[in-house]
Amino acid sequence: MKIKFGSIEETIITRDEFPLWKAREILKKETISVLGYGVQGPGQSLNLRDNGFQVIVGQRKCSNSWKKALQDEWIEGENLFSLEEAAERGTILMYLLSDAGQISFWPTLSKYLTEGKSLYFSHGFGLTFCNQTKIYPSKNIDIFLVAPKGSGTSLRRLFKKGKGINSSYAIYQDYSGNSLEKTLSIGIGIGSGYLFKTNFKNEVYSDLVGERGTLMGAIQGIFAAQYQTLREKGHSPSESFNETVEELTQSLMPLVSEKGMDWMYANCSTTAQRGALDWWKKFRDATFPVFQELYHEVLSGHEAKRIIQANSHINYREKLQKELQDLRKSELWEVGSMIRNLRPEKKDQN
């Protein structure tokens, strides 16, 4: 359907106009091969399996992800294979390795992308920055993406509750003439709430900015700044965390999700309303130059280059664990861990 957002008209695909039975019918002769079982692989493959599609998983043997796939009841030799064998068996290859993993495995994968197969992504990184990734697909295959706007963990959790994460979709190369139907079928099959149209470049530009911005990077920076300010002014760890994180995540964000920011404001005290309305533009003006710089770095390819170089280091995972441990052991998140354990639902489980 076409929906106008202000003066902009967009194409939106809902489950009502593209039902699950139609998706299954379109893909009934396809073997969907999910390559990678890290962040997006488990959620997408399990949702497809539960929705009745023919799915197999490819993963490096003896890895932690291979063990996780076995725990999720994928059966070796039946629907769980090495990356190479899964790539050979599949007709739609869902390339869900990490960006670094996609780069290293590409010379091998390209041998299995024979005429008539389909190559699926959930991120436009590899093809948008192909000069750096060296991912250059052949012209005789379909190439498309569906990108859930959330983690694979959330995709799976919401699916099991009968809900769904919204996803973007894009066609990069339509060799067969049927790429759109296949794209939408997988989008519905993995449990998307609805699907909105984009292209590979816009997907990766918005995704990289969002991850570094309000979704993860900026929000952690704001959390840290406010918490530190309150602590330096004599507030207790519990009070500082509750006013910085707990109230936002447990009380206010659900209201925003339900009906929007104005409705959340309307359901807070008049003191909170007035303060928020008076101060939000100052935060916008303070952070706007940072977001402009961030978008430029993404658009120029500098951010992609930095990511590829960092992720390619042989000791990257060790450095990553150290960074995450430093974050986890900061006072802010050690307090958070203790407060989460005090929530009533935690006590009810014990």
Query: Coil, strand, or helix at residue 174?
Result: coil
Q: What is the distance, to the nearest Å, from the Cα of residue 87 to the centroid of all Cα atoms in its chain?
A: 23
How far, in whole angstroms, is CA 24 from its chain's centroid? 24
Is the separation of the CB atoms in 268 and 248 below 8 Å? Answer: no
Pairwise CA distance, residues 281 & 283, whole Å: 5
**One of 123, 235, 296, 302 is an active-site residue; which one?**
123
Q: Spell out a b/e string for 157-193, using b for 16 or more CB atoms within 10 Å of the CB, else e.
A: ebbeeeebbebbbbbbbebeeebebbbbbbbbbbbbe
Coil, strand, or helix at residue 183?
helix
Rounded Cα distance between 85 and 77, Å, is: 10
Q: For residue 13, give the amino acid letter.
A: I
Structure tokens at 203: 């997907």
Q: What is the greatest pairwise CA distance in the chain? A: 67
Helix, strand, or coil (residue 138): coil
- Quick one: which H or E segment has residue 57? strand 55-58
The total of other beta-carbon atoms located within 10 Å of residue 107's CB is 10
Task: Please state the separation of Cα 15 from the chain's center in Å.
Answer: 20
296 catalytic per annotation: no
Asked if 187 and 22 touch (Cβ cutoff 8 Å), the reply is: no
Helical axes 179-189 vs 41-50, angle rounded to 10°: 90
Q: What does residue 81 show for φ and ψ, rounded to 5 degrees?
A: -140, 175
Residues classed as catalytic? 123
